[in-house]
Chains A and B, each alone.
Chain A
Amino acid sequence: MKSPSSQDGPFSALVSRRSLLQGTAGIFALGALAPLLSACSTGGPAGGGTAKEITFWNFYGPAPDNNPQSQWFVKLADDWNATNEVKIKLRYIAQNDYVNGNTLQTAFASGSGPDVFLLSPGDFLRYYNGGVLQELTPKLDPAVVSDFLPGTLDTRKVDDKVFALPMESEPLAMFYSKSAFAEVGLTDADVPKTWDDLLTVAKKLTTPSRFGVGFETTPGYYQNFTWYPFMWEGDGQPVSADAKSSTFNSKAVTDALTFWGDSISTGVAPKKLLGNGGPDLPANLGAGYVAMQQSGVWNIAAMKQMAPNVDYGIFEIPTPSGGTSATTLGGWSFCANAKGGNPSAAADFIAWALGSMSADSIERGRTWNTVAKTNIPVRSSVQDAANAKGAFSDPNMAFFLNVVAPNGRGEPRYPPEIIKPIEDAIQAVQLGGKDAASQAAAASDTINAYLSSYSGAPIV
């Protein structure tokens, strides 16, 4: 081809027709290689291996700031490594990147997922249906299975077999700032009981620099999780009991969507929370950005760490008039990779860590749930041990244990294909000011289309 001179423009060499043709031919030749390469990466490491080191990916430790939760994880690994031949190696991933990022997914997609990892109910089915969850039942003492409180294992089971062990139960409630209440002449007795109350009280608490109430605004699993209680309070469900069809197009759903939309349109709730958003009480209520906030039990520890001087109280999630309060029980679980380097050892580790009747295991549960972090324990033996140490003498912890948790339902394990249309409906009504009924109907159609072609473990 002609030699390019300094007169040529940026891409002059590109336009020779011959080189274009050759380039295209080259692309197709290389394209033929693609299936070959993808085929050889499908094998992945053979399951049932006997690796001497297994990895545990989590978002707690070892964290750079060495906080109490990080210390608990490090100790967990150390204790196991002291007496076992197969060693555990922790990998810390910042929570935001673990939950919203791609680290875990990329690793699994290329067949190099971690041996042990933390899993939330919303991800359970995807991993189960992908065949990467190792069954834990054979490693569990039957006494332990019944030691887990009713409802806590359901979303982690398929056909009565356990595939993940929860380490905690995390109910949601409403937090309020006592100083903000005092500022506008409200007292603890004025905490709202109904949705209408909530909007009225929030209005009073709203100032030019503060919002009255905060609900999660970032789209994703967590937002859905915090919205479900409002749907349940009107007796709504996204999916029918037999999981054959959508029941999302209902009055309960429309009401709950509208309520969240109203909180924004009346200007009492922010369109974007600060810090890590809804789960993050210190960055929002703690920083005086909102006066009330829906969030979870973990904040009792978080506030002590990050905003120890902020005085706050807790009340139950308000209801539509005449409804009963409901809440979601979140919480993460340990699970083992069936395609990992040593699935059997990984399962042993999980059973040892969270699912043994030994005093060590119960003590670990106690320290995790009531010392390192604040949760509701998922095992009755752990609850007893915590009670014996006076963990629930703290009024906030006692409120969560005795008032909030009993109204709780386990976080549903809807797969992403159901989460997404619900998420879109919530976002459209809450932030886009769209009509709730039509959004619910649209989401319902999407869910129906998905359910008709779904095959895998039961969704509900």
Chain B
Amino acid sequence: MSTNLATRASGVSNPAGATAPAGNHSALPVKAGGMAKRRRRREARAAFLFLLPDGIGLTVFVGIPILLAIGVSLFSVSGFGDYVYVGLKNFQRMGSDTLLWQSVGVTLTMLIVFVPVTFVVALALAMLVKDRFPGVGVVRAIFFLPNVLSLVVIGVLWQFMLVDKQGVLTNLGGIFGLQDVSWLGTPSLALGTLIVISIWFTMGYQMFLFLGGLTDIPNEYMEAAKIDGASAWQRFTKITWPLLAPTSFFVLVVSIVAAVTGVQAFDLVYILTKGGPANATTTVVFYIYQQAFTFGDYGYAAAITTLLVAFLVIVTGAMLLVTRGGRFNADAD
């Protein structure tokens, strides 16, 4: 069924740039006169009403909490409801907090390893299952399957497989002379293990994103290139890669946000290692959580939160500016 849809879709919708001449078709018609003005007012009122539920919800349950968190960063908070204004003291404290910088290192490692590796793995998988072969639908489903499990279950499961000396994966390592390795208990390995687990449950999701992009590349481009004798690598670099740019961009943004504040940055750490061994898996998000709930230092936690959000805004903002909002075809304006 999915393959049927996929082939159908390949002729239907076109990726950015593929059909440049057909562009701008949906530019809204401009109308003039007083009627247009009244109409515009009516339209704005309708928009307001349609936006109201989500607007209120996002403001109350996401927006205000973020602003509160940022506001609280200027206070010393006891954890029992007492607030004392301390200006920028919480921010000044960060400079000499070696544990904070260690957690920044952990998060950056996560970012630098997880994002590109998952990207490459997911894209490779997508290329692998893009065209039909016996059971392609099942294979695609299997790659996505880890993503449907909860982090609680994933934690239980991997802990079980990685038990020192007895777990099935530990014993598998024994074949390669790694019998006595503690994958979650050794500081130099624990973060790597978490990253592997993260890749395992994220790659299928990203693979589907790429598949979406790939199946939108018109088949005839590939056919024509093949007939012209282009090698598989040439077809990838000259056709697939450029046409996939918007998808790649989206995957990168989602992946960066996930690596910094997503489930692998907190839930997985909370369930599998509690930040240990020796702080090796204490990510910034987990450190924030510790500051708030172990030390009761909500002000300091909020200050770190503020910088973390600022970091994400800057990184994603820079990516948007560089790519002009993920627009890759120059003639779109």
Contact = CB atoms under 8 A, between A and B. Distances in A.
* Complex A–B touching at CB under 8 A: yes
Main secondary structure of the interface of A (DSSP, over half): loop
Interface in B106-154: none
B26 A208 contact: no
Given A10-B326, A110-B81, A219-B276, A105 B321 contact: no
A339 B74 CA distance: 25
Given A219-B277, A431-B185, A5 B27 contact: yes
B72 A10 contact: no
Interface stretch (B195-203, B224-232, B293-301): B293-301
A451 to B, nearest CB: 16
Interface stretch (B31-39, B162-170, B233-241, B256-264): B162-170
Interface residues of A, number: 67
B71 A42 contact: no
B293 A102 contact: yes
Contacts of B242: none
A32 B240 CA distance: 48
Interface in B13-32: 16-17, 20, 23-28
A37 B293 CA distance: 21
A126 B295 CA distance: 8
B274 interface: yes
Interface in A1-59: 2-3, 5-15, 27, 30-31, 33-35, 37-39, 41-44
Contacts, number: 194
Nearest to A208: B165
B interface bracket (residues with beta carbon within 8 Å of A) = 35 or more
B81 A111 contact: yes
Interface stretch (B1-9, B40-48, B61-69): B61-69
B79 A38 contact: no
Contact of B79 (A6, A109, A289): A109
A37 B298 contact: no
Which of B25, B82, B187 counts the most chain A CB atoms within 10 A? B187
A7 B17 contact: yes
B28 A3 contact: yes
Contact of A13 (B64, B81, B180, B325): B325
A272 B320 contact: no
Contact of A130 (B17, B80, B276, B293): B80
21 contacts: A5-B26, A7-B332, A8-B16, A14-B320, A27-B67, A37-B64, A101-B293, A105-B79, A105-B293, A108-B81, A126-B79, A208-B179, A209-B165, A211-B164, A217-B276, A218-B276, A272-B182, A416-B296, A427-B277, A428-B278, A431-B276
Give 6 closest A-B pairs by Cβ, nearest first: A34-B71, A271-B185, A9-B326, A130-B80, A272-B185, A271-B182
Interface of B: 16-17, 20, 23-28, 63-64, 67-68, 70-72, 74-75, 77-83, 99, 163-166, 179-180, 182, 184-187, 246, 249-250, 253, 270, 274-280, 289, 292-296, 298, 320-321, 323-329, 332-333
